[in-house]
Amino acid sequence: MSLELTGLVEDFIATGHLSKIELDFLEIELWETLEHIDEITSLTSAPKNISKKLKLKDNSSWQLCTAAVLDAARPQEISRTVKLEKLIVKNSLF
């Protein structure tokens, strides 16, 4: 997990805000994850306090945290978090 991605998630939790460029970066990172999920063998868990603040299960992955940040900052009709959770289960990445 890139230091920049984890830092942006932590910044969002602290401030509730990210710039357009920062959000675009997270969108690209999440898109890469979704596109290549079948090639991923494991996910790195975020600390419990991060997962909790984003209203995710304890030890949720940084990718799920990224999806939750994007859902909060740029809501879509279909939640990125729900979509990614389904793919994680389908690919047994929990």
Mean pLDDT of 60-83: 97
By residue count, the chain amounts to: 94
Instruction: Give the pLDDT score at 2.
Output: 73
Q: Is 90 exceeded by the pLDDT of residue 3? A: no
Q: Which domain holds residue 24?
A: 3-90
Q: Give me the number of domains the chain comprises.
A: 1
Range 13-17 contact pairs with CB under 8 angstroms and sequence separation of 24 or more: 13/50, 13/53, 13/54, 17/73
**What tens digit of pLDDT does each residue of 31-66 get?**
999 999 999 999 999 999 999 999 999 989 999 999
Count of C-beta atoms within a 10 Å radius of residue 24 = 12
Instruction: Give the pLDDT score at 1.
Output: 61
